[in-house]
Amino acid sequence: MRFRRALIGAFVSATLLTGIAATTAEAAPAAPAAQSATIRPQAFLIGSILAPDRVDRLYAGDMISSSNGFIRLSMQYDGNLVAYSSSGNPLWSSGTYGRGGNVVILQGDGNFVMYDGNSRVVWTTNTNGYPGAWLSLQDDGNIVIYANDNSCGRWACARALWWTGTNTHIG
């Protein structure tokens, strides 16, 4: 029952957040060239948000999807984190194929980090220093880590810290 309530709460929050973020957050610029709860394997997570106060990690075999299904983020068994379009085309990857990554975590400090089985860092967005940051799979196809700029409510004044730049590649 508790797990069901948590899932329903996450789904409602993600739905509300996606709508609010889409209308109030600034559009993220193009991605820089060099970038880029516990759920069991093969889980498909409900909602389009990763946040430390909700579902905060993807294990190998897990994925999340934007609310409209245009983009999904998959932590693959080969250690690569990949964004796919609804037609199955890869749009972005962490470039970590074969490097042993088995979990990617949005940490409480705002950093999105992939770890191997020995808890060694395999890949990171280097977005630490922003407690409360969240990762959003947007309906336009972009994957963005946002932080509150503390000048207003949590979701109303979001600032993009990192993004994939995949918002022009839907299809």
- How many Å apart are CA 131 and CA 151, to the nearest integer? 15
Of 7-11, 50-54, 156-160, 165-169, minimum mean pLDDT range: 7-11
Q: What angle do CA 103, 108, 114 make, to 5 degrees?
A: 20
What kind and span of H or E run contains 64?
Answer: strand 63-65
* 53 inside domain: yes
Q: Is 47 helix (H, G, I), strand (E, B) or coil?
A: coil
Count of domains for the chain: 1
> pLDDT (tens digit, 9 = 90+) per residue, 93-118?
999 999 988 999 999 999 999 999 99
- How many Å apart are CA 73 and CA 160, to the nearest integer? 18
* 171 inside domain: no
Q: What is the pTM of this model?
A: 0.69
Give the domain range for residue 82: 2-163
